[in-house]
Structure 1
Amino acid sequence: MSDVFAIPSPKPAPVRLYCLPCAGGSAEMYRGWDALLPDWLGLWPLELPGRGKRFGEPLLNDATVLAGHLLDEVLNADDRPFALFGHSMGALLAYEMACQMEERGKPERLALVTLSGREPPHLSPEAGRQRHALPEAAFLDEVRRYGGLPAELEQSRELLQVFMPVLRNDFALVDGYRFGREACLASPLFVVGGDDEPDFTPDELEQWQGYSRRWQGTASFPGGHFYFNDGPARTALMSALRRQIAHRCEDLLAW
């Protein structure tokens, strides 16, 4: 099995939920989530280059290229239907994967796209910025603003220096992403986030509806950018995803 599938679900589930990490994140951020889902739905985190089992691979800071590589892995791994979930940077990658899937003429297997913690591209304050090139202190302040710097990195200068290239790479990916398509997704789109995000409001998430012809609405949960780090919010998120995906796959599941 490819190292892209770093934490495969042990369930023989008929539907898969592929999850993409935030900037600086790895498949590990989704460890344990599979247990919150029913037997018919298996959660498969996707590992990006330069981290986890793929630590020795070169980093990629082009969202279009990276999404294409990940989509190749997903489509070649299995022929069952699946859903995509991405948080923050992962939301951009999930959306790009969905766009490329439609461009390849293979949208029918994609049951749902869920984007978390990411405002729509036309509202993004990040496009064209060069945050990855900031001096270290200013760059780390930017990371802290989202609550995304783990305590172990704050406490270890040596570990921080190992991790810094991944963070800078991922911020370059986000800041360099350009959404140039005119067409909306044909796939169902569901958007979620914390109600105390630093860069946008729950109401602004509603503007994602212009990016899909099958808009499924939004859901907000108590908390900030990493709202799902709170146990009850994570459980509520998994319940919302289960309901959305079950509705899309009801014929397959014979419900």
Structure 2
Amino acid sequence: MYARHAGAALTLYCLPYAGGNASTYRGWGEALGPWVDCVPLDLPGHGRLRAKPAHSAWPALIEALLDEIGTLPARPFALFGHSMGALVALELAHALRERHGREPLWLGASACVAPRERELDTGRETHWLDCSPAEMVTELRRLGGTPDELLADAEFLDLALPALRADFHLCASQVRRARARSICLSCPIWAFGGVDDPVSERNDNLSAWCHETTGEFHRRMLEGGHFFVETMRAQLISKIATALQPLMPHACAAPPRGAPVVAG
């Protein structure tokens, strides 16, 4: 269940991590309150779009998301993505500007190595589309967040690995495509990290997100590992609300509540 607020002052599009889906953001709309219309997006091959083939090429993925969004709402919009979702949010921001002539009011990048640092990493692994299932399982175990019983379930792996392979390939092949045109965003970017997240251990992995905008940049840390989007949900939502509220001076926003567990 995802709360939609027709009279909201802002639309927040949320993008999931590799292998994830829109259910990551269940309850965010209720927690943020009626001034934010929270719209979680599924990628093809994931969640409610799991019957569609997962995309392993950036142009096809972004085109599919543009079609999913359709006409932008008249009110301002913002983007948030966790892990791979942060890269998708960045690419989508540039594509929305090209198609609609509008930038997001704000972009949140969570638990994700900045594109500039990815460019400098000459050891990026690009074998995910054809590596062995055992290698995929090893990487999933390293990242955490997937229960061991699922990683040992052959039926689960048969269903999950095609989308995961596509997602991992996208992460490995993202090389500042839009930024190669030397056009940065101008909106504020906030980068979030987890104190126990390997991605966040190296400061530049997060701080280099500042190179993706000419606007303000902020870095914020939370307790938890790579999946703090799940384990520290209420705290993350609170920080996002703190970032967004000053940008919407006419929004009468109550302090965000801890996101409730919502069935459905």
TM-score relative to the length of structure 2: 0.84
How far residue 239 of structure 1 moved from its aligned partner, in angstroms, is 1.0
Structure with the bigger percentage of strand: 1
Deviates more, 1:239-248 or 1:192-201: 192-201
Structure 2 CA distance for aligned equivalents of residues 202 and 221 of structure 1: 15
Q: Deviations over 1:195-245 (max 9, x none)?
A: 222234262211211211112311110111101322xx2212111111211
Residue of structure 1 equivalent to 2:29: 34
Question: Alignment partner of 2:198: what SS?
Answer: coil
2:87 to 81, 85, 92: 92
Residue of structure 1 equivalent to 2:17: 22
Residue of structure 1 equivalent to 2:244: 245
1:146 to 143, 148, 152: 143
Structure 1 CA distance for aligned equivalents of residues 191 and 63 of structure 2: 22
Question: Alignment partner of 1:83: what SS?
Answer: strand
Check the 8 A contact 1:194/1:202 in 2, yes or no.
no
Structure 2 CA distance for aligned equivalents of residues 41 and 105 of structure 1: 21
Alignment of 1:189-228 (within 5 A): 189-201=189-201, 203-204=203-204, 205-228=206-229
Question: Alignment partner of 1:76: what SS?
Answer: coil
Structure 1: which 4+ aligned runs deviate by more than 6 Å? none
Structure 2 CA distance for aligned equivalents of residues 213 and 177 of structure 1: 21
Residue of structure 1 equivalent to 2:102: 107
Question: Alignment partner of 2:19: what SS?
Answer: coil
TM-score relative to the length of structure 1: 0.87
Structure 2 CA distance for aligned equivalents of residues 75 and 14 of structure 1: 19
How far residue 127 of structure 1 moved from its aligned partner, in angstroms, is 4.3
For structure 2, which runs of at least 5 residues remain unmatched after alignment? Answer: 254-264
Structure 1 CA distance for aligned equivalents of residues 157 and 198 of structure 2: 24
Structure 2 CA distance for aligned equivalents of residues 50 and 216 of structure 1: 33
Query: Is 1:236 the equivalent of 2:235?
Result: yes
1:11 to 5, 11, 14: 5
- The higher relative CO (CA closer than 8 Å, separation ≥ 6) is in 2
For structure 1, which runs of at least 5 residues remain unmatched after alignment? Answer: 1-6
Structure 2 CA distance for aligned equivalents of residues 89 and 118 of structure 1: 7
Query: Is 1:166 the equivalent of 2:149?
Result: no
Structure 2 CA distance for aligned equivalents of residues 103 and 90 of structure 1: 20
Check the 8 A contact 2:185/2:213 in 1, yes or no.
yes
**CA RMSD, 1 decimal:** 2.2
Deviates more, 1:213-222 or 1:77-86: 77-86
Deviates more, 1:219-228 or 1:155-164: 155-164
Structure 2 CA distance for aligned equivalents of residues 225 and 245 of structure 1: 23
How far residue 118 of structure 1 moved from its aligned partner, in angstroms, is 0.6
Q: Deviations over 1:85-140 (max 9, x none)?
A: 101111110000111223336225x2111011111112224746223432111221
Aligned residue pair count: 245
